[in-house]
Structure 1
């Protein structure tokens, strides 16, 4: 678990982290270099990490070997609603969401803290208006949670 008091903004308690796979922590179905280590560190710190995918590139079993997370394969179609339902099930008030695509919009909207990643695939424009923070990489997004003073520096008022 992670607790962060952000002056003038809010106090955030993080028990869960939902990560979109493709376009967020992976490009063309391959994890970005260094991402697995950062995700596993967050798991070791007591944050329950969920990686959610529709399996676009079909490398789920390969990716599963590198991560100490719950990897969830969602059905194609209504992916945004499935991700929103997951965040509501595990607790939107204690869950951080990280994504980039249109199918991430509803979970980003519901999360206690939403981070949009602007990687090689780009990002759905409406996500930028729902995000608390936009980062240029998935590594940067994960580092915000590994180094919570960065959250304070970015979000304090």
Structure 2
């Protein structure tokens, strides 16, 4: 998806990186409707979920989904998420998260989206984002209609 925003250099989104808990899952369970959204849009984007898997459920919850699960250790999660974003070419990555451990990946990505759902949102993560949304489904709306992104980010 190529995005041309007035007053900003054009960019292309190739990869979508989601945090797990608080972003596409609540208390270790994927939010209803997420799997279908990822599978539908996987023809246009590469999807990744990066998590320390606090509840130990991510593999089972995402087993029939067109995304790659990246499990990281419990220590230095923010740095590990940052390294992963860089490994994908951060200039083509849209990342989404809510926790403190997501702040660096949102800042590094070409487009970082902070999400305020049931598990809350770390203020530092919010300050490192480009956009704040109230639901993960808002992100899928952006991926379906780039004009929503343009309207939000233009000068």
TM-score (norm 1): 0.94
After TM superposition, give the deviation of residue 24 of structure 1 in Å. Answer: 0.6
For 1:130 and 1:10, locate their aligned partners in 2 and report how far apart those are by CA, in whole Å.
Answer: 19
After TM superposition, give the deviation of residue 10 of structure 1 in Å. Answer: 3.1
Asked if structure 2 preserves the Cα contact closer than 8 Å seen for 1:29 and 1:57, the reply is yes
- 1:37-75 deviation per Cα after TM superposition (whole angstroms, max 9, x unaligned): 111222112x11110111111112221223110011111
- The CA RMSD measured in Å over matched residues stands at 1.1
Q: Which runs of 4+ in 1 moved over 6 A?
A: none
Which of structures 1 and 2 has the larger relative contact order (alpha carbons within 8 angstroms, sep 6+)? 1
For 2:58 and 2:130, locate their aligned partners in 1 and report how far apart those are by CA, in whole Å.
Answer: 29
State the aligned residue count: 155
For 2:9 and 2:30, locate their aligned partners in 1 and report how far apart those are by CA, in whole Å.
Answer: 32
For 1:113 and 1:148, locate their aligned partners in 2 and report how far apart those are by CA, in whole Å.
Answer: 13
Q: Which runs of 5+ in 1 are unaligned?
A: none
For 2:3 and 2:130, locate their aligned partners in 1 and report how far apart those are by CA, in whole Å.
Answer: 14
User: Is it true that 1:31 corresponds to 2:39 in the alignment?
Assistant: no
Q: Which residue of 2 aligns with 1:115?
A: 113
The 3-state SS of whatever aligns with 2:17 is: strand
- 1:126-145 deviation per Cα after TM superposition (whole angstroms, max 9, x unaligned): 11111111000111122211
